[in-house]
């Protein structure tokens, strides 16, 4: 874990307390691709690396893509209350570290979680303020093509993911924003727009308005 950073509030960020963004989609929906693009383009936005018991896929790096741990280590963390949320997805366990999210938000950093619909529900039940964003695939056929193209699942695993997809998509009703991922450039721009729009909400910018109003109380400003 990196050394603690001093609180910072970039001009683009929302204020003294960060915003928690939760991005979900069915497996193969493309949420990871969109998030990586937005993280690289939007200042002041952090990414929470999840913990999982599944094996790394080709090209994935421990501590960057996920924290890959054994079922035993995952259970020790869960029993100690170390996860903000955790779920069993397609036979593997996934979790979000509670301490990382709490630190980022308290330091004024907006943070984005890439989690399944179960995890999103758990976060909504735990956190007072969550911005939920659901990534929709264009169709089941496209979703199947994407999963087959990445060649990371055995046929039986692919069948499970596709079988769970309809139930996951039906959960879109519980999210604040829906983004159709039919074209990466457009969808990632829309995701970035959601981040900027949420930062500009009046209730998040009250501290800015009060600061501006305070300047009107300075007699020297009228000289």
Determine the CATH number of domain 20-48+108-212: 3.40.50.300
Residue 94: pLDDT band with limits 50, 70, 90: very high
| Residue 103 burial class via C-beta count within 10 angstroms: exposed 0-12, middle 13-18, buried 19 and up | middle
Which is more confident, 94 or 5?
94
> 3-class SS at 135?
strand
Q: Are 77 and 95 in contact (CB under 8 A)?
A: yes
Mean pLDDT for 88-100 is: 90
Residue 7: pLDDT band with limits 50, 70, 90: very low
> 3-class SS at 63?
coil
φ, ψ for residue 153, nearest 5 deg: -120, 145
Residue 219: pLDDT band with limits 50, 70, 90: confident
For the entire predicted model, the pTM comes to 0.82
Mean pLDDT for 170-186 is: 96
Mean pLDDT for 80-94 is: 91
Give the distance from CA 206 to its chain's centroid: 25
Give the distance from CA 102 to its chain's centroid: 14
Residue 16: pLDDT band with limits 50, 70, 90: low
Type and span of the H or E element at 14: none
Question: Sheet containing 45-47: which strands, arranged edge to edge?
Answer: 45-47, 110-114, 20-24, 131-136, 177-180
User: What mean pLDDT is reported for the chain?
Assistant: 88
If you count them, how many residues does the chain have? Answer: 223
């Amino acid at each position: 874990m990196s050394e603690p950073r001093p609180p910072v509030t970039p001009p683009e960020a929302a204020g003294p307390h960060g915003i928690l963004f939760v991005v979900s989609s069915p497996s193969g929906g493309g949420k990871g691709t969109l998030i990586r693009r937005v993280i690289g383009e939007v200042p002041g936005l952090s990414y929470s690396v999840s913990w999982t018991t599944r094996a790394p896929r080709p090209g994935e790096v421990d501590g960057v893509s996920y924290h890959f741990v054994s079922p035993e280590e995952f259970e020790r963390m869960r029993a100690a209350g170390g996860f903000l949320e955790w779920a069993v997805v397609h036979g593997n366990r996934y979790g979000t570290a509670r301490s990382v999210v709490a630190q980022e938000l308290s330091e004024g950093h907006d943070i984005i979680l890439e989690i399944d619909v179960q995890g999103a529900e758990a976060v909504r039940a735990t956190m007072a303020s969550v911005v939920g964003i659901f990534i929709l695939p264009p169709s089941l056929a496209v979703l199947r093509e994407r999963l087959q193209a990445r060649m990371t699942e055995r046929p039986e695993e692919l069948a499970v993911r596709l079988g769970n997809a309809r139930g996951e998509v039906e959960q879109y009703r519980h999210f604040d924003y829906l983004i159709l991922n039919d074209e990466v450039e457009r969808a990632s721009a829309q995701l970035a727009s959601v981040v900027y729009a949420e930062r500009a909400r009046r209730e998040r910018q009250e501290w800015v308005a009060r600061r501006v109003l305070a300047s009107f109380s300075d007699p020297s400003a009228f000289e």
